[in-house]
Amino acid sequence: MGKWEKATLDSICQKKISTLTVKDKGIIEYIDISSVDNIEKKIVSFQTINVQEAPSRAKQILQQNDILISTVRPNLNAIAMNDVISKNMVVGSTGYCVLRCNDANDFRYVFYFCKSKGFISSLVKVAKGASYPAVSNSAVKNCKIPLPPLKVQRKIAETLDAANELLAMRKNQLAELDKLVKSQFEEVFGANGKEVNLVDYVWFQEGPGVRTIDFTSEGTVLLTGSNINDNEITFGYKSDRYISNELARGKYSHFICDKDDIIVVSSAINPERFDEKVTVIKEGQKYCLNTGIIRFKPNLEYLTLGYFREFLKTNYFKYQVVNKMQGIAQMHFGPTHLKTMKMLLPDSIDLQLEFDAFVKKVDLTKVKVQKAIDETQALFDSLMNEYFE
């Protein structure tokens, strides 16, 4: 990469993105900040609305393959490529910096660069604001990208596409195993069971909200919502946080997770994907809770871990969560809400034990698939580092 000269993003993208005017009429497809999944780097939803009823932030008229980069919380790297196909005008929020590459450069190559750790780090360094950090459009466009010839850009994009597709395939295998467990759960338990108060059968605790002053560069991992994806705990991002082992043994010792704790993300989540934010602490994993994370310990006299873990993913529980969620920018719920929620208590502990045995078998297969995912992710990260760092 060292032999490639660098150029600012501004120099390889169109200078001006057209915007809506008072003369525009009709229906638009509106992509707001919540439309982008910062994990998958995709547009997962959009609003179909009349332009006259559109919010003031609905301004930027988008084209296919425009790269959208959220200018708020740049550490989350909420970016996506516009792939919305519609007869209506597609409009993006002013909360995005829109990059429209010129013909001399490959938009896929630029998109991958915008997913790189170096790009994220450069934006985090210039972000302003403590509780709601943000960057300007000019800060994004001033970032410098290694610029090989167009032919090389295309080759790099193809290589990264192949690695990304392999990663997606293996993640899909994991998702299918989760569906298998869910199907077995529904077949065995359905919506049956005695409705009881959740708090009578389950202990739960939310993270303390660790102060920024207590963050360290290494030590005990501080578990946050960004670390839990597809029901697994993942690390390796520059945004990962830690506290010292001394604080973990002292001040925050009551918030250190135990093996078999069931973990749920309770803040800044997409309600429709709540069931993907449930996981279990495994042997040898040592994490400290932070705010926006809740751990559960079911009463094992009445509930098995496997049953309760899957129960938390059911529509029966998810609908309660969605109805209790509060907030606009960051939807959340907490222990106060959980105290009012219900759960279904199966009549037979034996059925739960049989289900747990099935779950353990599936989990063994998931471990193998997860290992393959980790290896593929390591390959992808290595390639990204080779090309962009």
One domain, residues 298 and 335: yes
One domain, residues 222 and 278: yes
Contact predicate 202/196, CB 8 Å: no
Q: pLDDT band at residue 279, thresholds of 50, 70 and 90?
A: very high
pLDDT of residue 150: 96
One domain, residues 126 and 173: no
Q: 62-76, pLDDT tens digit by residue?
A: 999 999 999 999 988
Distance in angstroms between the alpha carbons of the first and the last residue of the chain: 8
Instruction: Return the SS3 of 230.
Output: coil
Q: pLDDT band at residue 308, thresholds of 50, 70 and 90?
A: very high
pLDDT of residue 270: 72
**CATH number of the domain residue 248 falls in:** 3.90.220.20
One domain, residues 325 and 298: yes
One domain, residues 204 and 154: no
Q: 82-98, pLDDT tens digit by residue?
A: 999 999 999 999 999 99
Q: 197-222, pLDDT tens digit by residue?
A: 999 999 999 999 888 899 998 899 89
One domain, residues 368 and 315: no
Domain count across the chain: 3
Q: Quick one: DSSP state of residue 226? A: G
Is 267 within a domain?
A: yes
One domain, residues 301 and 277: yes
Is 368 within a domain?
A: yes
Among candidate residues 317, 316, 298, the one with its CA nearest the CA of residue 356: 298
One domain, residues 77 and 204: no
Is 1 within a domain?
A: no
Q: Quick one: DSSP state of residue 272? A: G
Q: 149-179, pLDDT tens digit by residue?
A: 999 999 999 999 999 999 999 999 998 999 9
Residue 36: give the domain boundaries: 6-148
Mean pLDDT of 350-358: 95
285, HSE (Cβ side, Cα atoms, 13 Å): 21
pLDDT at 290 over 80: yes
Q: Per-residue DSSP letters for 303-352?
A: --HHHHHHHTTSHHHHHHHHHH-B-SSS-B--HHHHTT-EEEE-S-HHHH
Q: Quick one: DSSP state of residue 191? A: T
The two three-digit tokens of residue 88, written as one number: 């209506």
Is 135 within a domain?
A: yes
Is 273 within a domain?
A: yes
One domain, residues 134 and 220: no
Contact predicate 56/87, CB 8 Å: no
Picking from 122, 148, 174, the residue at the C-terminal end of a domain is 148
Contact predicate 7/145, CB 8 Å: yes
Picking from 92, 122, 148, the residue at the C-terminal end of a domain is 148
CB-based burial label for 387 (10 Å; 0-12, 13-18, 19+) = buried
Instruction: Return the SS3 of 141.
Output: helix
One domain, residues 311 and 370: no
pLDDT of residue 103: 93
One domain, residues 132 and 247: no
DSSP E strands: which ranges in 14-170? Answer: 27-31, 36-37, 42-43, 47-50, 58-61, 67-70, 79-81, 89-93, 96-99, 144-146
Picking from 148, 180, 209, the residue at the C-terminal end of a domain is 148
Is 350 within a domain?
A: no
One domain, residues 85 and 96: yes
Is 295 within a domain?
A: yes
pLDDT of residue 309: 94
The two three-digit tokens of residue 207, written as one number: 């993270």
